[in-house]
Amino acid sequence: MKKDQIELFGRQIVSSAYYVHKEMGPGLLESIYQTCLSEELSFRGVHVDREVLIPLFYRDKPVHKDFRIDLLVEKEIILEIKAIEAIAPVHLAQILSYLKLGDKWLGFLLNFNVPVMKEGIRRVVNGFPRE
């Protein structure tokens, strides 16, 4: 997928996150926001996979341990959903690790437990897209 297409989906993700936050408000469980965001993106015609298992390799050898990402949009963009008081550096490191391990370049860390959704959106980039 080309960078401009991924950017279009990125805008849909942000718009959908704003909509879900407006409808549901802060203070709910992560799983509720994950479900609602998945439904909103699907409603907008965006393909979403939930709870995607990614195999883990160490030194090119499978270690028989998977990691799970919350949402994978159009097989390209990783979404990590949070409902926490504040995003910490470890949360940004987590999604960056997911991007590297999943061989993806764009992800969003979305914290819905904020008064204004703008405060809960972090775009994370792992290098540049291959075209």
Whether residue 131 is contained in a domain is answered as: no
User: What distance in Å separates the CA atoms of residue 38 and residue 40, rounded to the nearest whole number?
Assistant: 6
Whether residue 7 is contained in a domain is answered as: yes
User: What distance in Å separates the CA atoms of residue 63 and residue 71, rounded to the nearest whole number?
Assistant: 23
Based on the structure, what is the number of domains in the chain? 1
pLDDT tens for 1-35 read: 888 999 999 999 999 999 999 999 999 999 999 99
Whether residue 117 is contained in a domain is answered as: yes
Whether residue 41 is contained in a domain is answered as: yes
Domain that holds residue 20: 3-125
Q: What pTM value is reported for the model?
A: 0.92
For residue 62, the cross-strand partners are 57
Torsion of Cα atoms, 42 then 124 then 89 then 51, to 10°: 30
**pLDDT of res. 129:** 60
pLDDT tens for 61-117 read: 999 888 899 999 999 999 999 999 999 999 999 999 999 989 999 999 999 999 999
Contact assessment for residue 12 and residue 125, using Cβ atoms and an 8 Å cutoff: no
Q: What amino acid occupies position 125?
A: V
121-128 mean pLDDT: 90
User: What distance in Å separates the CA atoms of residue 33 and residue 17, rounded to the nearest whole number?
Assistant: 9
Whether residue 14 is contained in a domain is answered as: yes
For residue 54, the cross-strand partners are 67
User: What distance in Å separates the CA atoms of residue 18 and residue 25, rounded to the nearest whole number?
Assistant: 10
Whether residue 112 is contained in a domain is answered as: yes
Among 57, 59, 54, residue whose Cα is nearest residue 78: 54
Whether residue 50 is contained in a domain is answered as: yes
* Res. 131 pLDDT band, cuts 50 70 90: low
pLDDT > 70 in the chain, percent: 97
* Res. 130 pLDDT band, cuts 50 70 90: low
**Cα angle: 84, vertex 90, 96; to 5 degrees:** 110
pLDDT tens for 43-65 read: 999 999 999 998 888 899 999 88
